[in-house]
Amino acid sequence: MNNEKLTRDAIDYVSELLGKNSGGHDTAHSLRVYKNALRIAENEPACDMTVVSLAAILHDVDDHKIFNNENNENARAFLTDKGISAEVIDRICNVINSVSFSRNRGKKPVTLEGMIVQDADRLDALGAIGIARTFAYGGEHGRSIDESIQHFYDKLLVIRDELNTDTARDIAAKRHSFLEAYIAELKEEI
Ligand code: NI
């Protein structure tokens, strides 16, 4: 299996399906999650890089907020087409299914690859990018600024304490402080 070609094809597939979805679950998000996952995986030599890479890139292709399908239909279609074995496809899909914040509240992924990709996705909800995505998603769903700010407390600010890996915790520290500083500034202005 040529991993580089596979990775590129997976990215093309994501662009076809997600394009520039304005709510923050777009191709650019998938690429950032992939990049975060590679960064975390550098310090986790025991992980399976093929599973980590493909799960990170494909993690939103069956997102329930965008698609109405079951059993990782889009991810499975791509991976099957690429001749990936059924066993590896199941492992990738299990990782993808451990990523969603709302569906996995308080549940730790059972595999190292799941921990890495879950952390990679959650890091993208923190810091400057996390703020941008929160308002983009809020606007798309008709939420007021106050309602979007509530999302900071419900999700963004609890992420730091729920991360799985030390590498993600290191990256999160600065992004978390930035969120707190942003909220403080916002309160002062209001
Ligand atoms: Ni995501």
| pTM (predicted TM-score) | 0.93
- Pick the closest to residue 92 from 132, 52, 137 (CA basis): 52
Going from the Cα of 14 to the center of ligand 1, the distance in angstroms, rounded, reads 12
Q: Where are the domains of the chain?
A: 3-189
Q: Three-state SS across the chain?
A: CCHHHHHHHHHHHHHHHHCCCCCCCCHHHHHHHHHHHHHHHCCCCCCCHHHHHHHHHHCCCCCCCCCCCCCCHHHHHHHHHCCCCHHHHHHHHHHHHCCCCCCCCCCCCCCHHHHHHHHHHHHCCCHHHHHHHHHHHHHHCCCCHHHHHHHHHHHHHHHHHHCCCHHHHHHHHHHHHHHHHHHHHHHHHC
Residues whose Cβ atom is located within 5 A of ion ligand 1? 60, 121
Top CATH class of 3-189 equals mainly alpha
For the stretch 37-46, what's the b/e string if a residue is b when 16 or more beta carbons lie within 10 angstroms of its beta carbon?
A: bebbbeebee
Confidence of residue 24 (pLDDT cuts 50, 70, 90): low
pLDDT in tens, 74-86: 999 999 999 999 9
Average pLDDT of the chain to the nearest whole number: 93
Determine the pLDDT at residue 69: 87
Going from the Cα of 11 to the center of ligand 1, the distance in angstroms, rounded, reads 14
